[in-house]
Amino acid sequence: MSVNKPDQNKEKSDSIKENEISQLKMVLKLFKLFIFSLLRFRFYLPGIPEIKVDKLNDLIESDQAPLLIDTRDETEFYGNIGLSYGKKYGHIPNAKLLPLFQLSANLGHLSSFKDKEIVTICPGGGASLVAGEIMIKAGFTNVKSLRGGMNKWHKKGYTTTTDENSEDMIYFVEVDKTESVKDRPEIVDGKYIGELHKTLDARNFTCPKPILMSKKTLGKMEIGQVLEILTTDPGSKRDIPAWVKVTGQELISAEDNNPKEFRFIVKRLE
């Protein structure tokens, strides 16, 4: 039978206390770092004006709505997943989707709005300040950030929508990438014996982008021509056949090349 000596017990107790103090110090350091980061962030963007959600809602209801630029990703914008905050409330009606990381590359598409009132939107009001700074530096003269972002808008109970509309999207860099569309004047495998005029590579894009890309590409093709569409979004197994049916085209083939890749062959009829 082993017996702990008093000195050993004291050393063990001191070690536990020292460990607890070290953990507390670490938490305090992280908290101080967080506060410093917030203060530094606010100091770094001192000149970006903000608009409260109440004021923005008043403008919208009085038909004086500014141009709304939503800088979130598509899943948050359309309320499909809401990865960052677990929300599913979509976007403000008539807002335009322009993700923050694509903003600089697409400002040319907004050149006609340089003097119009613009409100940038994000989940909590931080990223929209960055978006506002980018736009102001690019020559936009009347840009505000929505204070509190969509979280505050939702808490106030103001109107949101999850409707998907191609007009919601105003960025074109990825959708219009010419390298993703290839001419295919050739006879292909036995699953479809015939001529493919173009192949649209929409792999690694999520809903609704494969639909938007397919619609745009097929719209540029002649009646009777055939488009091959390649995707990795499981939702496209439902969305593309439904889109083909609604628009009056012909779905020649829909197949799974493997569990993660899907292939559709669509003929333009009108």
What order of strands is seen across the sheet that includes strand 226-231? 181-187, 195-202, 226-231, 261-267, 250-258
Q: Which of 207, 218, 229, 240 is catalytic?
A: 207
On the 0-12 / 13-18 / 19+ scale of CB atoms within 10 A, 53 is buried
Q: What is the CA radius of gyration of the chain?
A: 26
Can you read off the two tokens belonging to residue 18?
Answer: 């020292």
Cβ atoms within 10 A of the Cβ of 7, count? 8
Pairing of strands 261-267, 250-258: antiparallel
Per the annotation, the verdict on 207 as an active-site residue is yes
On the 0-12 / 13-18 / 19+ scale of CB atoms within 10 A, 205 is buried
> Active-site residue numbers?
207
